[in-house]
């Protein structure tokens, strides 16, 4: 019943202070003022997990809502519908899933939506919530609020509210009430226009202060608290032990609660967590229509119309099936009275998008799945440890890795570790007598002096007759036939766990953001999409098409059509297999004819970077495989002037894949230090082709050599630049070797620094990175570690920017719960500003933070060059090096230098001096002329950097764009 006092109060507020009334709309809704569902099918509002009406909370509720005892609602409760986005993880867990959940949650809130997580995958969606709602939200917290005010949800007292029938009010009061609510609605619409988010514009960001920062479940989810059953423990005599948290200090619990609304801060600190904090499970009930019917009902009860699913092909197939059955499920729920006609109309369509979480990397139409890079890291770390003891005792190790129908992990581990032999399901051994084939290869390696033997077996490995190949059988063959002291190691679930690597934080974040945009843009006519990546381009492909192609791989293997199975894998997979076979083989049957054999020079130029040695190893192995001679030039072009040159043997480079830095030695000297003597060195050593590995200086070296071909015939040989620099500043290529290793070093350092900052609760760390005039490391590192601010040379630092950033930090810390502030990171590239140095920034933040937050600094320096190269840099090096050598072989002419002597300069093409580049979803060879068009020589970087927009995304994910302008 609505009291006259409440009506008069509302009217008085409007007359005296309309703005104040508008502010009051942002306060929490009183649960008791929300009408309960009656049996007549009248309009209802379903309470969410927190006991708050979904429709009313959508509007940023505020005043006492006039209701009537027959269930009708006055115009003030009119709902302006916004999207409700939920995310779940299903199937097997994988590192990076938490980053995907965090991205979906924060991007949903940033786009003006409500965000939900569904615990325990499809099982949780089928179960729904079985506990009573918790209290409603507190009034929204503003930056000027007291630091003692909590952003968590608190109950709001409503003891004085009485309700009367609207029809029983005097006509004058009815008119006054209508006018009052119309004025409130008008003011609300004006406020809404100011903060409205355009769902079709990915750059549109909602003010962070308009959404509850926390619903209080974040810590419970992260700690796993609140799920223990105190009554069950008491029944078995455990009541005297404090072994479980039934609920937290605010009375919240996860027990019986599977669909949970979450806020911005509920997912903080999730980037560096392995597995999935919201749980995952296999769900037989969801495979039945009755289970999907319950799931649909639970979605409607919570007003969820957009669903992001992170899982494997089975989970994504189930998601699309749910969407396909959605209309019939709605009809059935309406017929049984579970939903109203209005609910069916409001939720007539369900939008679904898939994110692929699988350590096996077994989904077609995407190069990588969430969790696969981290699993490869775990495998390589394990084999790195095993390899040292294998070499010490001259042993053989047979190592089993996961993979089922996909051999990606086994293949890339073989490339990254320099294994001797691998078994993968898509490409079984070429002969039925694979045992002899394997033994002959390993024996040839032993004959040239190799002390260890590594054989990697995918768990789904088969021979050509579909007979499983097991590691114990492989071990017996090596022992019996070769007499090798052999051990078996099954890595098991160690591959699945651990902290996510840098790429498994960046990729899920980018894909999660794209997933939300796909949901917001979806129409009933568009298919369900799967978000993937090809080379370096985030893609959106029809989900069912990707699943069908994935399942076709297993069917092709079952039919022993291995050529077809390989055709379903991406080009990277096929090239990696070719690279492995070339690097492992000592056979002479693939050698080029003697009159086609070349002397190929290999030189490192610029600063050292992870992957340089792996690329050199692949180049040397290619040369030996084809009968060419690899000529190592030590210490760059200065080494060539000193005749510090030698040929490299097959065995010499065997362990180079795992070595960081540059085994050949490198410096920044360019060939123009003495072009004449450099040309003479080319002639003296008979170079027919040249592979230059390095960063911007290496590109510049090839450019100088190409520009001087007319004057020096010795330079009229094919040459190719393979980009390798931690700064990733080489123009026209998305990735340089070493950049991933550096990002992982940055992530490791920042994780430790953030741990210190968070322990201090209110500390900001300004972390300085390397990168020269390129902000790649700082930008991608900020996205990977969850930094709130990032400074790059491209954007620089101004006094105005600093003022805004100080304002942001002040506002953000004022929004934290007292005593539970978060340590925060600011990433600064070393050359962002010559005036506002790291030390100056730190002092400014410390001074302006006053009692809210402290500031410290850390300079990572040359630690970012990393130690052991990352598996991604090793495998990428092998693939790109192979492509470089194939290019040189196709363009080179044997005995080029002797042909030049005493003759006029011959015609040559600019296409023979190139740089290999990853551009979007393609690998290209770019001529020096093409590269120059995209190069800023003064700033030593490209003109069109693909990652330039990610700086803004990093700050959106950190909350800055929601508090200090878009």
Just list the catalytic residues: 360
As a three-state string, the secondary structure of 301-353 is HCCCCEEEEEECHHHHHHHHHHHHHHHHHHHHHHHCCCCCHHHHHHCCCCEEE
Tokens of 710: 């007319």
Q: Per the annotation, does 9 bind a ligand?
A: no
Q: Per the annotation, does 940 bind a ligand?
A: yes
Q: Per the annotation, does 658 bind a ligand?
A: no
Tokens of 228: 């223990």
Name the CA dihedral angle for 54, 60, 65, 70, rounded to a multiple of 10 degrees. -20
CA-to-CA separations, 362 to 212, 404, 407, 546, 872, in angstroms, rounded = 38, 9, 8, 11, 17
Q: Per the annotation, does 312 bind a ligand?
A: yes
**Closest C-alpha among 532, 499, 610 to residue 875:** 610
Calpha distance 711→927 (Å, rounded): 19
Q: Per the annotation, does 668 bind a ligand?
A: yes
Q: Per the annotation, does 726 bind a ligand?
A: yes
Residue 689 neighbours by CB distance under 10 Å: 26
Using CB atoms within 10 A of its CB, is residue 37 exposed (0-12), middle (13-18) or buried (19+)? middle
Q: Per the annotation, does 941 bind a ligand?
A: no
Q: Per the annotation, does 952 bind a ligand?
A: no
Q: Per the annotation, does 403 bind a ligand?
A: yes
* DSSP run (H or E) holding 400: strand 396-401
Q: Per the annotation, does 569 bind a ligand?
A: no
Q: Per the annotation, does 359 bind a ligand?
A: yes
For tokens 């015609």, name the residue. Answer: 907
Find how far residue 951's CA is from the centre of its chain: 15
Where would I find the H helices in 531-570?
A: 543-558, 562-567
Q: Per the annotation, does 358 bind a ligand?
A: yes
E strands, 585-712, are 599-605, 629-633, 645-647, 689-694
Q: Per the annotation, does 92 bind a ligand?
A: yes
Q: Per the annotation, does 313 bind a ligand?
A: yes
Tokens of 343: 């609910």
Calpha distance 541→546 (Å, rounded): 7
CB 397 within 8 A of CB 385: no
Q: Per the annotation, does 283 bind a ligand?
A: yes
Q: Per the annotation, does 886 bind a ligand?
A: no
Phi, psi (rounded to 5 degrees) for 789: -140, 150
Q: Following DSSP, what letter does each residue of 887-928 receive, concatenated?
A: HHHHH--TTHHHHHTTSPPPP--GGGEEEEEEETTEEEEEEH
Tell me how many degrees the CA angle 594-595-596 measures, rounded to the nearest 5.
90
Q: Per the annotation, does 772 bind a ligand?
A: yes
**Closest C-alpha among 404, 627, 518 to residue 111:** 518
Where would I find the H helices in 816-870?
A: 838-849
Calpha distance 778→739 (Å, rounded): 11
For tokens 């003010």, name the residue. Answer: 207
Give 804's contacts (C-beta < 8 A, 6+ positions apart). 964, 965
Q: Per the annotation, does 771 bind a ligand?
A: yes
End-to-end CA distance of the chain: 44
Please report the sign of the dihedral spanned by the C-alpha atoms of residue 784, residue 790, residue 793, residue 794.
positive
Q: Per the annotation, does 727 bind a ligand?
A: yes
Phi, psi (rounded to 5 degrees) for 5: -60, -40
Q: Per the annotation, does 402 bind a ligand?
A: yes
Tokens of 378: 């775990």
Q: Per the annotation, does 404 bind a ligand?
A: yes
Q: Per the annotation, does 495 bind a ligand?
A: yes
Calpha distance 180→782 (Å, rounded): 48
Find how far residue 619's CA is from the centre of its chain: 31
Q: Per the annotation, does 325 bind a ligand?
A: no
Which residues in 286-316 are b (16+ Cβ under 10 Å) and which e? beeeebbbbbbbbbbbbbbbbbbbbbbbbbb
- Do the strands 719-723 and 913-919 form a parallel or antiparallel pair, or are they unpaired? parallel
CB 822 within 8 A of CB 762: no
- Do the strands 453-458 and 421-423 form a parallel or antiparallel pair, or are they unpaired? parallel
Q: Per the annotation, does 459 bind a ligand?
A: yes
Q: Per the annotation, does 395 bind a ligand?
A: yes
The binding site for substrate consists of 358-360, 395, 402-404, 459, 487, 493-496
The binding site consists of 92, 282-283, 312-315, 358-360, 395, 402-404, 459, 487, 493-496, 668, 725-729, 763, 770-772, 830, 856, 940
The binding site for Mg(2+) consists of 313
The binding site for ATP consists of 92, 282-283, 312-315
The binding site for beta-D-fructose 2,6-bisphosphate consists of 668, 725-729, 763, 770-772, 830, 856, 940
């Amino acid at each position: 019943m609505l009291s006259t006092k409440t009506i008069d109060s509302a009217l008085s507020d409007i007359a005296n202070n309309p703005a104040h009334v508008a502010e009051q709309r942002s306060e929490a809704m009183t649960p008791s003022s929300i009408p309960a569902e009656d049996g007549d099918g009248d309009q209802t509002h379903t309470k969410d997990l927190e006991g708050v009406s979904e429709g009313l909370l959508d509007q940023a509720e505020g005043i006492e809502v006039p209701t009537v005892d027959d269930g009708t609602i006055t115009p003030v409760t009119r709902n302006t519908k916004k999207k409700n986005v939920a995310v779940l993880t299903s199937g097997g867990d994988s590192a990076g899933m938490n980053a995907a959940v965090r991205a979906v949650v924060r991007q949903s809130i940033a786009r003006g939506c409500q965000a939900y997580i569904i615990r325990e995958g499809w099982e949780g969606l089928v179960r729904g919530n079985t506990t009573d709602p918790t209290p409603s939200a507190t009034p929204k917290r503003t930056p000027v609020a007291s630091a003692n005010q909590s952003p968590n949800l608190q109950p709001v007292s409503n003891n004085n509210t009485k309700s009367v029938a609207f029809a029983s009010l005097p006509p004058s009061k009815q008119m006054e009430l209508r006018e009052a609510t119309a004025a409130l609605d008008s003011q609300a619409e004006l406020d809404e226009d100011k903060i409205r988010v355009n769902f079709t514009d990915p750059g549109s960001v909602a003010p962070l202060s308009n959404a509850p920062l926390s619903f209080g479940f974040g810590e419970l989810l992260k700690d796993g608290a609140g799920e223990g059953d105190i009554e069950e423990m008491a029944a078995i005599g455990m009541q005297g032990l404090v072994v479980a948290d039934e609920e937290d200090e605010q009375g919240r619990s996860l027990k019986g609660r599977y669909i949970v609304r979450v806020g911005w801060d509920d997912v903080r600190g999730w980037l560096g967590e392995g597995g999935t904090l919201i749980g995952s499970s296999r769900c037989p009930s969801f495979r039945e229509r009755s289970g999907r019917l319950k799931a649909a009902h639970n979605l409607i009860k919570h007003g969820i119309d957009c669903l992001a699913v992170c899982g494997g092909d089975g989970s994504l197939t189930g998601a699309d099936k749910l969407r396909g059955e959605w209309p019939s499920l709605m009809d059935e729920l309406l017929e049984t009275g579970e939903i109203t006609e209005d609910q069916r109309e409001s939720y007539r369509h369900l939008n679904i998008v898939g994110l692929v979480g699988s350590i096996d990397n077994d989904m077609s139409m995407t190069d990588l799945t969430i969790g696969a890079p981290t699993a490869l890291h775990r495998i390589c770390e394990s084999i790195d440890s095993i390899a040292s003891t294998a070499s010490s005792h001259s042993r053989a190790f047979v190592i089993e890795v996961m993979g089922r129908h996909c051999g990606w992990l086994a293949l890339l581990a073989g490339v990254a570790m320099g294994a001797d032999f691998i078994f993968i399901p898509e490409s079984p051994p070429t002969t039925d007598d694979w045992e002899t084939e394997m033994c002959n290869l390993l024996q040839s390696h032993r004959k040239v002096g190799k002390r260890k033997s590594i054989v990697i077996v995918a768990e789904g490995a088969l021979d050509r007759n579909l007979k499983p190949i097991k590691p114990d059988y492989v071990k017996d063959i090596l022992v019996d036939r070769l007499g090798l002291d052999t051990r078996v190691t099954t890595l098991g679930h160690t591959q699945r766990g651990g902290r996510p690597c840098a790429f498994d934080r960046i990729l899920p974040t980018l894909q999660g953001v794209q997933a939300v945009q796909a949901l917001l843009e979806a129409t009933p006519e568009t298919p369900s999409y799967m978000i993937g990546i090809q080379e370096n381009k985030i893609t959106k492909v029809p989900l069912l098409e990707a699943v069908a192609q994935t399942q076709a791989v297993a069917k092709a293997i079952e039919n022993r059509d291995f050529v077809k199975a390989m055709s379903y894998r991406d080009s990277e997979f096929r090239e990696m297999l070719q690279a492995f076979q070339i690097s492992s083989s000592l056979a002479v049957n693939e050698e080029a004819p003697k009159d086609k054999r070349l002397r190929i020079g290999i030189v490192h130029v610029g600063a050292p970077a992870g992957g340089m040695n792996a690329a050199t190893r692949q180049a040397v192995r290619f040369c030996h495989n084809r009968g060419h001679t690899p000529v190592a030039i030590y210490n760059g072009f200065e080494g060539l002037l000193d005749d510090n040159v030698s040929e490299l043997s097959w065995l010499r480079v065997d362990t180079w894949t795992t070595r960081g830095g540059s085994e050949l030695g490198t410096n920044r000297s360019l060939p123009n230090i003495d072009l004449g003597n450099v040309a003479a060195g080319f002639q003296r050593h008979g170079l027919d082709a040249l592979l230059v590995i390095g960063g911007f200086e290496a590109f510049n070296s090839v450019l100088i050599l190409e520009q001087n071909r007319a004057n020096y015939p010795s330079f009229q040989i094919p040459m190719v630049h393979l980009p390798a620099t931690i700064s990733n500043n080489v123009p026209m290529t998305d990735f340089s070797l070493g950049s991933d290793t550096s990002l992982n070093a940055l992530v490791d350092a920042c994780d430790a620094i953030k741990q210190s900052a968070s322990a201090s609760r209110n500390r900001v760390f300004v972390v300085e990175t390397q990168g020269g005039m390129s902000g790649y490391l700082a930008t991608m590192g900020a996205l990977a570690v969850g930094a709130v601010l990032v400074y790059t040379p491209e954007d620089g630092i101004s006094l105005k920017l600093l003022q805004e950033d100080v304002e942001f930090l002040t506002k953000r810390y004022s929004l934290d719960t007292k005593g539970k502030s978060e340590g925060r990171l600011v990433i600064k590239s070393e050359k962002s500003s010559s005036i506002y140095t790291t030390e100056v920034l730190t002092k400014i933040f410390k001074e302006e933070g006053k009692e809210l937050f402290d500031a410290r600094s850390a300079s990572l320096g040359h630690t970012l060059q990393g130690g052991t190269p990352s598996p991604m840099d090793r495998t990428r090096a092998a693939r790109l090096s192979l492509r470089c050598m194939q290019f040189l072989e196709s363009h080179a002419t044997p005995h080029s230098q002797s042909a030049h002597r005493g003759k006029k300069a011959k015609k040559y093409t600019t296409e023979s001096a190139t740089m290999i580049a990853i551009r979007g979803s393609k690998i290209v060879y770019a001529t020096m002329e093409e590269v120059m068009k995209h190069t800023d020589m003064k700033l030593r970087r490209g003109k069109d950097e693909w990652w330039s927009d990610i700086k803004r995304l990093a700050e959106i994910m950190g909350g800055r764009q929601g508090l200090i302008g878009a």
